A and B are shown apart, each in its own frame.
Chain A
C-alpha cells in the first residue's frame, strides 16, 4: 500500500523524478562503463594533451591526453562503489551494534555506548588518515576507513529505536514465546528500523563520496589505475584558471549526483517518517 503511495507522490514531484533519473544514469554509467565510454580510460593521445572540449573529445583531455568523458564515466564506478560499500558497511556494523546494545540493556548497553562515546570523540579525519595510511594503497582501505568513522551515528540511531521498540507489545510477546535475542534482532527489530535506515543510507552515500574527494585532496584517495571523481576533481582544481574543463566537469558530476541523493533522501524521509527530521 505504502509503496504505491510513494510512487504516486514521486510522480507529482518533478525534482524527485529528476533526482531518481540522475541516480539511475550514474549507476548505469558505473555498471556499463566499458560500453558507454568513447575511449578506454587509460588510452593516451600524446597529440592531444590538455585540450578543451571538442567533437573528438567531448569534455576535453587531461595532462596525458586521455579523454575526460571516459574518465568521468569510469570514475562513477569508483565513486559509487565507495559511496555504497562504505555506507552499507557502516550501516551493517552500526545497526547490529546498536541493536545488540539497545536490546541487551543495562550494563552491556552502558559499556557499549561508552565505546561509542570514545569513537565519537575521535576526530574523524585524523582517524581516516591514520587508517588509510595503515591499510593503505587499496580501495578497501578507503571503504574501511570511511565505514569505521561513520558507524557510530547509525549505532546510536538503531539503539534508540531498539530501546523504543523493546518496550512494545510485539517484542515482549515474541520474547514471551521464547524467541532468542538473535531472532528478535533480525526478525523484529531491524525490519522495523528499515525506514530510518534507508533514509540514513541516502544521506551517507553522498557524504562518503564527498569524504573520498577530501581524501583525494590530502593525497590519500583512490590509487591508479582507478580514478574517482574525487581524484579527477583534485587533479584539476588548481587549474581552474588555465584548464577549467579539468575541474568543471568532474565537480559537476559530483555536484549533480550528491544533489540527487540528498533530494531523494529528503523526499524519502518526508514520506517515511516526518519525525525523522529531527535527527
Chain B
C-alpha cells in the first residue's frame, strides 16, 4: 500500500514536468510580452529590460534556464511585481486561497450531504422536491451573479455581514458561501441518488425485517454504504474549490492566489503563470491520490492501480 502511494507520488513528477513544458510553450505562443505597455518604450530601454530578464535569449534557452532553476525549487522573479519572487508571492497568497477553499469545502459537504439525506429519506415529498429544486438552482447561476446577490442582501440591506475584505472569520462567510453553493447542490443530488439506491438493496430489507429502527438503519447501514460515490468526487471538488476561487477572490477582494489566474496571464508575468499552474497541478494530483487512498481504505476490494 505505502509503496503504491509512493509510486503514485513519483509518477506526479513527470506529470508536473509535462505540465510545465506545455504551459511554457502555450505561454510563449500568446502574443505580447510582459513589458508591452500603452506607452511604447524607446528601443534602448526595451533592450535593457530584456537583458535584465533574459528575455533576449532564444525561447529554448529560456526554457532550459527556467527548468534548471525549477529543479532547484526556485520559481524565479515576478516580471510584474518587481523585487518579489514567485515563491514569496505564492507562499503569501496560497494559504488564503486554501483557507477559503476549505471553508467552502466544509460548507458544501455539510449542506450537500444533509439536504441529500433529507431528500432521500423523504423521497418525492414536498421537502424533497423543494430541496432538489434549490440544489439544481445552485448550479444554474454564474458565480458572479450569486456573489452580487449575496452582497446586496446580506451586506447592503441587512448589514449583517461584511461586503468584502479579509479581516476576521466573519469575512469568510459570504465568499465561501458563494463558492460552495454550486458544489453543495452537486453533492446533495449525488447523496440523494446514492441513498435511494442503497435503500432498495436486499440487506436493508433484511435489516428492516430484523426489526432494527429506521434511524439506526439509516446511520449504521445506509449512509456508511452510500458514501463511496461521494468520496470519489471530493478530491476533484476540493481541488476545484481551491483553484476555482478567482472570481470570488476578485469580487470580495480577498488576498488569495486565485486572481493571478487572470492577472498573471493578462500581465504576461511568465514566471508567475508557471508558478501557479504548477502549484495547482500538484494540488490536483495530490487530491486525486488522496481520493484513491480514501477509496481503498473504504473498500479494500478497490485496488490502487
Please report A residues at the B interface, Cβ cutoff 8 Å: 114, 117-118, 120-123, 125-127, 129-131, 133-134, 206, 210, 213-214, 217-218, 230, 233-234, 237-238, 240-241, 247, 251, 254-255, 258-259, 262-263, 266, 274, 277-278
Contacts and interface: CB of A to CB of B under 8 A. Distances in A.
Interface of B: 15-16, 18-19, 22-23, 26-27, 29-30, 136-137, 139-145, 148-149, 152, 156, 189-190, 193-194, 197, 229, 232, 243-244, 246-247, 261-262, 265, 273, 276-277, 280-281, 284-285, 288
Contact of B142 (A118, A121, A233): A233
Q: Point out which of B26, B137, B142, B243 has the most chain A C-beta atoms below 10 A from its C-beta.
A: B142
B285 A121 contact: yes
Contacts of A114: 15
Contact of A130 (B139, B148, B197, B265): B265
Given A255-B141, A277-B229, A123 B281 contact: yes
Contacts of B26: 127, 130-131, 134
Contact of B141 (A131, A240, A251, A266): A251
Chain B interface mostly:
helix
25 contacts: A117-B15, A118-B18, A120-B288, A121-B16, A121-B288, A122-B22, A122-B23, A122-B281, A123-B277, A126-B23, A126-B273, A129-B261, A130-B265, A134-B29, A210-B139, A214-B142, A233-B142, A254-B142, A258-B139, A259-B136, A262-B136, A262-B140, A274-B197, A277-B229, A278-B194
Nearest to A212: B142
A240 B150 CA distance: 11
A255 B232 CA distance: 28
Contacts of B243: 123, 125
A266 B188 CA distance: 13
B71 to A, nearest CB: 19
Given A214-B142, A277-B197, A266 B27 contact: no
